[in-house]
Amino acid sequence: MKLTVVGCSGSFPSAESACSSYLVEADGFRLLLDMGNGALGELQRHCGLYDLDAIFLSHLHADHCIDMLAYFVARYYRHDGGRCAPLPVYGPEGTEHRLTTAYADTPSASSMSEVFDFHTVKPSTFEIGPFTVHTERVAHPVEAYGIRIEHAGKVLAYSGDTGVTPALDELARDADLFLCEAAFTHGKESIPDLHLNGREAGETAARAGARRLVLTHIPPWTDPQVNLADARAVYEGPVELAAPRLSYDI
Ligand SMILES: [Zn+2]
Ligand SMILES: [Zn+2]
């Protein structure tokens, strides 16, 4: 598996990074995890506009899904006059309605489904292309999922947005790479069931026995070096900060 960070800024874009979006590739298949603000532009550095094979939306906060509106335009009003075939999109209950409402004036109520094939995510195990994925509800104010992706004996776990929860420990169990949000700063922000801080991300990785931790979703107003140090203080494995265009072979 190859993981590429398309965007990793938390909550809103920074000058350096789009919001959450991660490209996962294996056997020529391209799965995009989330498509936050600015991700569609950045994505085109890594693959063609129409080269995705599936999209997974962890939840429907704008910083994880709002560029789906721009991608609808690109797929529906194709420059060559054709329309793209429906692309599988896995998201929480109500994803199609939410995107259609946010767009406001799609030609019809079903226009989104002409270019996206929506699948409702529940806690379950299923196949997406060559990947076996397992999804679990995580602790966030809206219906939100973390995802465990397995391919050829390797495991990538992605937290989405979440507070501390046993579900995340299980998703990240023995993961080769654990991509975990650390939006809050230890000792500064403490709101249950919203986000993790660097220390909590490190503690989760340690409990889960994850082999490598990559911190992501750090907002522009947060000092990432503090969160990095906090995670390192409680987790002995390698920890680093996600950054746009970084990629990992898993
Ligand atoms: Zn977020
Ligand atoms: Zn969120």
Ligand nearest, relative to CA of residue 142: 2
Contact partners, residue 179, CB within 8 Å, separation at least 6: 3, 22, 156, 157, 158, 159, 214, 216, 242
In sequence order, what E strands does the chain have?
Answer: 2-7, 21-26, 29-33, 54-56, 87-91, 116-120, 124-128, 131-137, 145-151, 154-158, 177-181, 213-216, 239-241, 247-249
For residue 202, report the distance from its CA to the centre of ligand 1, in Å.
Answer: 19
Task: Give, as residue ranges, everything with CB less than 5 Å from ion ligand 2.
Answer: 61, 161
- Cα of 83 from ligand 1 centre, angstroms: 30
Give me the pLDDT at residue 14, please. Answer: 98
pLDDT score, position 190: 87
Q: Cα of 80 to ligand 1 centre, how many Å?
A: 35
For residue 172, what are its two tokens? Answer: 């990240």
What is the per-residue pLDDT for 76? 97
- State the distance from the centre of ligand 2 to the C-alpha of 219, rounded, in angstroms: 12
Q: 81 CA distance to ligand 2 centroid (A)?
A: 36
Instruction: Supply the pLDDT for residue 56.
Output: 99
Q: Please state, in angstroms and rounded to a whole number, the distance separating the CA atoms of residues 19 and 36.
A: 5
Q: What ligand is nearest to the CA atom of residue 19? A: 1
**Structure token pair of residue 78:** 């194709």
* pTM exceeds 0.75, yes or no: yes
Residue 105 has which token pair?
Answer: 């004036």
The DSSP 8-state label assigned to residue 68 in this structure reads H
Q: How many CA atoms lie within 13 A of 90 on its CB side?
A: 24
DSSP type of residue 19? B
Cα of 80 to ligand 2 centre, how many Å?
36
Q: How far is the CA of 204 from the centre of ligand 2 (A)?
A: 19
Give the pLDDT score at 98.
Answer: 98
What is the separation of C-alpha 103 from the centre of its chain, rounded to a whole number of angstroms? 21
**Residue 115 CA, ligand 1 centroid: distance in Å:** 25
Cα 142 to ligand 2 centre (Å)? 7
**CA of residue 74 to ligand 1 center, whole Å:** 24
Q: Given this model, what pLDDT does residue 244 score?
A: 98
Q: 127 is written with which tokens?
A: 């196949």
Strand, coil or helix: 42 = helix
CATH topology of domain 2-249: Metallo-beta-lactamase; Chain A (3.60.15)
pLDDT tens track of the chain, all 250 residues? 999 999 999 999 999 999 999 999 999 999 999 999 999 999 999 999 999 999 999 999 999 999 999 999 999 999 888 999 999 999 999 999 999 999 999 999 999 999 999 999 999 999 999 999 999 999 999 999 999 999 999 999 999 999 999 999 999 999 999 999 999 999 999 899 999 999 999 999 999 999 999 999 999 999 999 999 999 999 999 999 999 999 999 9
Ion ligand 1: residues, CB within 5 A, are: 63, 161
β 213-216/177-181 pair status? parallel
String of DSSP letters for 48-113:
-TT---EEE-S--SHHHHTHHHHHHHHHHS-TTS--PPPEEEEESTTHHHHHHHHH---SSTTSHH
Q: For residue 161, report the distance from its CA to the centre of ligand 2, in Å.
A: 5
Phi-psi region of 187 (alpha: psi -120 to 50; beta: other; left: phi over 0): left
> Which pLDDT belongs to residue 210?
98
